[in-house]
Amino acid sequence: MITNRKIIHFDIDAFFASVEQLDHPEFKGKPLIVGGDSDRSVVSTCSYEARVYGVKSAMSIVVAKKLCPHGIYVYGNMKRYSDISHQIFEWIESQFEMVQRVSIDEAYIDVSDFPSPWEVAREIKKQILSMTGLTVSVGISYNKFLAKLASDWNKPDGIFEIKTSDIPNILLPLPIIKIHGLGKKTCEKLNRIGIFTIEDLYQYPSELLNNIIGESWAKEIVERIHGIDHRPVKEYAQRKSYGKETTLEEDTEDREQIYNILKIYLNKIHKRLEEKGLMAKTLTIKIKYGDFEQFTKSHSLEYHTNDIGILTDTLQSMYDSLSLTKNVRLVGLTFSNFEDIDYKQFNLLELTSSN
């Protein structure tokens, strides 16, 4: 087992809710739920004061209101969260070479070359607090899986290190949902056959796990629960863009036909991004007319996403504002400006600015 690396994982505490509490001091210390106020809204996140009532990310607001009727319910302001995230990452990336952003509020840093990971962790917390007023939790270990587990262990505002000797005590009793990489559906399947903790999974024959999640993934999961994870902290995806384009069989001015092609491309490229574990920020439509005159139209979101709903809406509004003056010969769509994502899906659709 390689244990000589030093990996840090940091994650801002109750990110969107903490920003709202900063911007609205009257929300401080109160159960605050970000995600909206309508019955169709979904909880994006909530303050730790709301979590004691059982409110969680991705829960419907209707359910949240049942659990926490006196909570404060607000819409999010994605632009504001995105700006703060940029400010934080700008500083982080200016300090460390090996940074892998995982989402808007978390990243891995390889600090093997630093004398003390604890000192680095304390410095990160101090800087982020003084720059933004936000607290973060930092996990330290010798691989990514354990570093992420460690940052989660002591939330909010904590630092925690997992060492080799801690493995049995920390890992064995953990519910399997805490295994980064095992989805909710797989966990439910495993629960149904009596597997609830990592210890249960230790005793489960690996051939049976192969049947449930496939051989190569099962091998990786089994390694992880034994504290083995060789994944490097990788900076950014090599690939700068993914695109698809085609010359139509016949030139057309049928807007719907062209849009349908773009949508097929969107779905195909989205699938590719999912396979690669990437989120994109920029969409570009390419149009070539029958007379070979061509143009592109790009739109950059304020944040990276792999949410098919957000991407489809973006394509639709870009297309709606596109005027086509001649018969079209070629249609293309490209996604660019990527960020890695390990597994997280945000429910950002509900987040509209309250201002």
Which positions make up the binding site for Mg(2+)? 11, 105
* Residue 20 makes contact with Mg ion by CB under 5 A: no
Interface residue with ligand TTP among 16, 73, 75, 160 (CB under 6 A) is 16
Size of the site for ligand TTP (CB under 6 A): 18
Distance in Å, CB of 11 to ligand TTP, minimum: 5
- Does the active-site annotation cover 220? no
Interface residue with Mg ion among 7, 12, 102, 331 (CB under 5 A) is 12
Q: Pattern 114-133, binding to Mg ion, x per CB under 5 A?
A: --------------------
* Residue 220 makes contact with ligand TTP by CB under 6 A: no
Would you call 317 helix, strand, or coil by DSSP?
A: helix
Judged by phi (left if over 0) then psi (alpha if -120 to 50, else beta), residue 220 lies in alpha
Q: Which residues contact residue 179 at a Cβ distance below 8 angstroms, ignoring those fewer than 6 apart?
A: 198, 221, 224, 225
* Residue 14 makes contact with ligand TTP by CB under 6 A: yes
Peptide bond connecting 117 to the previous residue in cis, omega within 30 degrees of 0: no
Residue 14 or 61: the one with the smaller Cβ distance to ligand TTP is: 14
Q: Reading across the β-sheet that carries 106-110, which strands appear in turn?
A: 99-103, 106-110, 7-12, 136-141, 159-161
Interface residue with Mg ion among 7, 73, 75, 105 (CB under 5 A) is 105
Q: To which H or E segment does residue 310 belong?
A: helix 308-320
* Residue 102 makes contact with Mg ion by CB under 5 A: no
Peptide bond connecting 156 to the previous residue in cis, omega within 30 degrees of 0: yes
The C-alpha atoms of residue 105 and residue 9 are separated, in whole angstroms, by 11
The C-alpha atoms of residue 197 and residue 66 are separated, in whole angstroms, by 29
Q: State the number of CA atoms in the 13 A half-sphere of 283 facing the CB.
A: 28
20, 106, 339, 350: which one is catalytic?
Answer: 106
Q: Pattern 45-84, binding to ligand TTP, x per CB under 6 A?
A: x-----------xx--------------------------
Interface residue with ligand TTP among 41, 44, 100, 334 (CB under 6 A) is 44
Q: Are 161 and 167 in contact (CB under 8 A)?
A: no
Interface residue with Mg ion among 6, 9, 10, 11 (CB under 5 A) is 11
Alpha-carbon distance values, 9 to 165, 184, 233, 287, 305 (Å): 19, 22, 10, 43, 21
Q: Which residues form the catalytic set?
A: 106
Residues within the interface to ligand TTP (CB under 6 A)? 11-16, 44-45, 57-58, 104-106, 155-156, 346-348
Residues within the interface to Mg ion (CB under 5 A)? 11-12, 15, 105
